[in-house]
Amino acid sequence: MKIAGHLFKNFNHQPSDPIFELMKRFQADSRSNKVNLGIGMYCNAAGELPVLRSVWLAKEFLKERNQPSRYLPMAGYSDYCCAARALVFGDDADTECIATIQTLGGTGALRIGAEVLKRHFPEAEVWVSDTGWDNHLTIFSNAGFSVRRYPYLDKGSYTVDFEAMYSCLERLPRGSIVLLHACCHNPTGADLSKAQWLHLAELVRDRGLLPFFDFAYQGFAAGIDEDAYAIRLMERQNMAFVVASSFSKNFALYGERCGALFFCCQNESQAGLVQGQMEYAVRGSYSNPPLHGADIISYILHETGLCDIWRTEVTEMRERISGMRQCLLDALSRNSARLDYYRLSGPRGMFLDSVLSPTEVDQLRSQLGIYLAPSGRLCLAGLNQANVEMVAEAILDIVDKRSI
Ligand code: PMP
C-alpha cells in the first residue's frame, strides 16, 4: 500500500462530460456506417475533418521558416492579438480602448474573463440563455459565480422570444453579467435580429448591465463581418463589455486551442488597467499561451492573398452547412406532414435541435450508429450527401413509432 494513499479516497465521482464521452464512444464504435453528429466539428463533403488550404499554406511557410519555440508574453503573440481584434471589431475600431489577450480557445477566453470579472464584481450574478451551451454553467460557476437563466427561445416559432428575454433582463440588478451568443446560438441557431440587438444595446446601457459575448462561430451565420454586428454596434457606442472569441471552427484548428479575450473599455487608461488584470490571471493559470496555432492564424490574417483564400473557405463551410440543413429539412418534411417543426429554416449555424428525447437519441446511437448530443442537438456539419437521407429516415422512423 502506498504511503498516504488514503488521501484521495474521499473524492466524489465526477460524471463525465456528455459531449466528450460521446466522442469517445463514437471512436470506439466499429460500425463502418456510423455518423458523428455530436460534437461541433466541421467535416467536408467527403465526411473528413479538413485542413483548410489557407492553413496548409501557412504551415508550409512556417515549416520553411523554422523558428525556435520561444516563450510568448502572458498576453500572447502580439501580431495575433492585433489581427484577432481587427477580425472581431473591424478596421475602424478604437483599438486603444480594447484590452486583448490570446487565449486557449474560446473556452479559455470565457474562463479567464470570468476570473477577472469575479475578482472585481464578486457579488454579480451571471445570466445565460435558457437553453444554451451547458459549459457556460460550468465555466462561470467554477469561477465562483452564481449562474441564472434568462428566457430565450419561443418553441412555437423557434425564434428568439425577445419580449420574454427583454422583460427578464430589464429587471436585473445593475452590474449583472449577461452572457450573449453573438451569432449561431448554440444549440438553437436562433439569433437576435439587427433591430433586436439595437434594443438590447439600449437596455444594457440604460440598466447598467455587463454584456459578455461568446463569439465561437464568426463567419458561420451570414459572414465574417456580418456576424460581428452586435459586437461592433456596442463598440461604436463606446459601451463597456467583454468578448470571448474562438478560432477553433472558422480555421478548423480545433486542436491548436486558439481564441482571444477582449475587454472593451471606455478609455485607454481603463484598458491598460484591465490588460494588467487579464495578464495576472493568465500568469497564475498557464503563464502564457502556445505559439504554433497563433503563428498560423496571424500569418493568414496578415497576408492578403492567404486571407482571401481563408475568407472563401469560411464561406464554403458556411454554405455547405446551410445546404445540409436544407437537405435534411427537405427530406424530413417531404416524408412527414406532421413534423411542422422541421419546416423551419430560420435558425443558422452548425446545429439543429432534432427535438428527439434522450431515449430516442440513445436508440439512434445504439441501433444505427447515429450519434447526436444527448440533448437532441444535431451537428449539421457532420452530414453529407452520402448520409443525409439515411439520417432523415432514421429520425422519421423514430418519430413515427412515437404515435403508435
Ligand atoms: N462557446 C460556444 C457556444 C461553443 O459552442 C464552443 C465550442 N463548442 C465554445 C464556446 C468553445 O470553443 P473552443 O473549442 O474554442 O474552446
What angle do the packed helices 292-302 and 78-89 form, to 10 degrees? 60
Active site residue 63: no
Distance 337 CA to ligand 1 centre (A): 35
Query: So what's the pLDDT on residue 99?
Result: 98
Q: How confident is the model at residue 25 (pLDDT cuts 50, 70, 90)?
A: very high
Distance 8 CA to ligand 1 centre (A): 32
What's the CA angle centered on 73, arms 69 and 78, to 5 degrees?
Answer: 90
Nearest CA to ligand 1 atom 12: 106
Query: So what's the pLDDT on residue 6?
Result: 82
Active site residue 225: no
Q: How confident is the model at residue 180 (pLDDT cuts 50, 70, 90)?
A: very high
Closest ligand 1 atom, CA of 181? 3
Alpha carbon distances (Å) from 57 to 243, 296, 307: 29, 9, 11
Residues 188 and 347: beta-carbon distance below 8 Å: yes
Active site residue 214: yes
Closest ligand 1 atom, CA of 133? 3
For the segment 57-78, the average pLDDT, to the nearest whole number, is 97
Mean pLDDT of the chain: 94
Nearest CA to ligand 1 atom 7: 216
Closest ligand 1 atom, CA of 132? 3
Residue 192's contacts (CB-CB under 8 Å, 6 or more residues apart) are: 160, 162, 200, 230
- List, for residues 83-101, the tens digit of each pLDDT value: 999 999 999 999 999 999 9
Pocket of ligand 1, beta carbon within 6 A: 40, 105-107, 133, 181, 186, 214, 216, 246, 248, 259
Q: Best mutation site among 103, 107, 180, 213 for ligand 1, i.e. most ligand atoms within 8 A of its Cβ?
A: 107
Q: How confident is the model at residue 392 (pLDDT cuts 50, 70, 90)?
A: very high
Distance 106 CA to ligand 1 centre (A): 5
- List, for residues 101-144, the tens digit of each pLDDT value: 999 999 999 999 999 999 999 999 999 999 999 999 999 999 99
Closest ligand 1 atom, CA of 108? 16
Distance 290 CA to ligand 1 centre (A): 18
Distance 31 CA to ligand 1 centre (A): 28
For the segment 324-337, the average pLDDT, to the nearest whole number, is 84
Strands 241-246, 210-215: pairing is parallel
As given in the structure block, the three cell numbers for residue 57 are 499554406
